[in-house]
């Protein structure tokens, strides 16, 4: 398997706590990986390690077989696109200017955006159905509009690897479906993508592989049917859960009553 980004026995310790331990995860080129697990399992922490935003306390993170921390910041920013869990709420500029920030890794230190940069921004805003809001001040956008602008920023950046933390946050059902379908299409076109998702049927439907985290450990990584078994899900989430694929091919979920 040709892993673009991977961790080997990666651990993260903070304030005397083990947040992650013994994580071996490989993101194959041109694949979509869904990172799932309960609150506090370590999904964001693992995504931060993969992005180089946190350094492993033990083990390593490899980008194309080379330690991630050995890459210059600018090179890392060109290769890795990051969409965080929370869009900023107060910014002193417009949606267009925010999306333009995605082009920064492509510009020199004092570089000014050229026609190609501006075209990439316009196209990304259009793709996210935000053209009518492009000149609106950031403070006057809704939560879902900010989230979509964050994705537009990622599109404008055009990095070959995407790391997304709960990218469907704040999105209505149509925009969730559009976003997940777009992730699938981008992976099919060769992009390497990992996304934290809470919706297990969506994760099973769209991802090539599902990585299940529980209490800082990777409990399984592979096809949804093999990883997200009833026994494992119910144990990890501490709640009766079952996921299965119906006769129509759609993934279904039953959430039990007992607690």
**Nearest Cα to 216, choosing from 55, 8, 33, 17?**
17
Cβ–Cβ contacts within 10 Å for residue 198, how many? 15
Q: In this structure, what token pair is assigned to residue 132?
A: 């009518």
Q: Which of 42, 84, 150, 167 binds ligand ATP (CB under 6 A)?
A: 42
Nearer to ligand ATP, 40 or 137 (CB): 40
CB of 41 or CB of 224, closer to ligand ATP: 41
For the four alpha carbons of 152, 133, 120 and 179, in that order, the dihedral sign comes to positive
Binding of residue 109 to ligand ATP (CB under 6 A): no
Pick between residue 74 and residue 217 the one whose CB is nearest to ligand ATP: 217
Question: What DSSP line would sit under 66-96, residue for residue?
Answer: EEGGGS-HHHHHHHEEEE-SS--S--SSBHH
How many other β-carbons are positioned within 10 Å of the β-carbon of residue 61?
A: 22
CA count, 13 A, side-chain hemisphere, 43:
25
**Shortest distance (Å) from residue 4 CB to ligand ATP:** 22
The footprint of ligand ATP on this chain (CB under 6 A) covers a number of residues equal to 12
Q: Is residue 137 helix, strand or coil?
A: strand
Among 6, 33, 44, 169, binds ligand ATP (CB under 6 A): 44
1, 15, 108, 109: which one binds ligand ATP (CB under 6 A): 15
Whichever of 14 and 140 has its CB closer to ligand ATP, that residue is 14
Q: Is 19 in the site for ligand ATP (CB under 6 A)?
A: yes
Compute the distance between CA of residue 51 and CA of residue 61 in angstroms, rounded to an integer.
9
Smallest gap from Cβ 17 to ligand ATP, in A, equals 5
- For position 40 contacting ligand ATP by CB under 6 A, the verdict is yes
Contact with ligand ATP (CB under 6 A) among 2, 9, 14, 255:
14
User: Which is nearest to 195 in space by CA: 101, 88, 84?
Assistant: 84
Q: Does 43 bind ligand ATP (CB under 6 A)?
A: yes
- Strands 32-36 and 209-214 turn out to be parallel
* Binding stretches for ligand ATP (CB under 6 A): 14-15, 17, 19, 37, 39-45
């Amino acid at each position: 398997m040709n892993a673009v980004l991977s961790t080997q026995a990666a651990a993260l310790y903070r304030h005397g706590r083990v947040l992650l331990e013994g994580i071996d995860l490989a993101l194959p080129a041109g694949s979509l990986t869904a990172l799932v697990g309960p609150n506090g399992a370590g999904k964001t922490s693992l995504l931060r390690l993969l992005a180089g935003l946190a350094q492993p306390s033990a083990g390593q993170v490899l980008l194309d077989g080379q330690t991630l921390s050995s890459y210059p910041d600018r090179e890392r920013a060109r290769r890795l696109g990051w969409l965080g869990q929370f869009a900023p709420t107060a910014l002193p500029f417009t949606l267009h200017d925010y999306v333009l920030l995605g082009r920064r890794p492509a510009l020199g230190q004092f570089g000014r955006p050229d026609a190609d940069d501006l075209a990439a921004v316009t196209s990304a805003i259009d793709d996210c159905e935000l053209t009518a809001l492009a000149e609106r001040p950031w403070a006057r956008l809704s939560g879902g509009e900010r989230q979509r602008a964050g994705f537009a920023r990622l599109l404008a950046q055009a990095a070959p690897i995407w790391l997304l933390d709960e990218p469907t946050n704040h999105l209505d059902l149509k925009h969730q479906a559009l976003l997940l379908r777009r992730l699938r299409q981008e992976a099919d076109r060769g992009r390497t993508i990992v996304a934290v998702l809470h919706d297990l049927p969506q994760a099973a439907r769209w991802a090539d592989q599902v990585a299940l985290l529980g209490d800082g450990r990777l409990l399984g990584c592979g096809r949804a049917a093999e990883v997200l078994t009833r026994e494992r899900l119910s144990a990890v989430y501490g709640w009766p859960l079952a996921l299965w694929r119906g006769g129509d091919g759609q993934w279904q979920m039953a959430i039990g009553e007992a607690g």
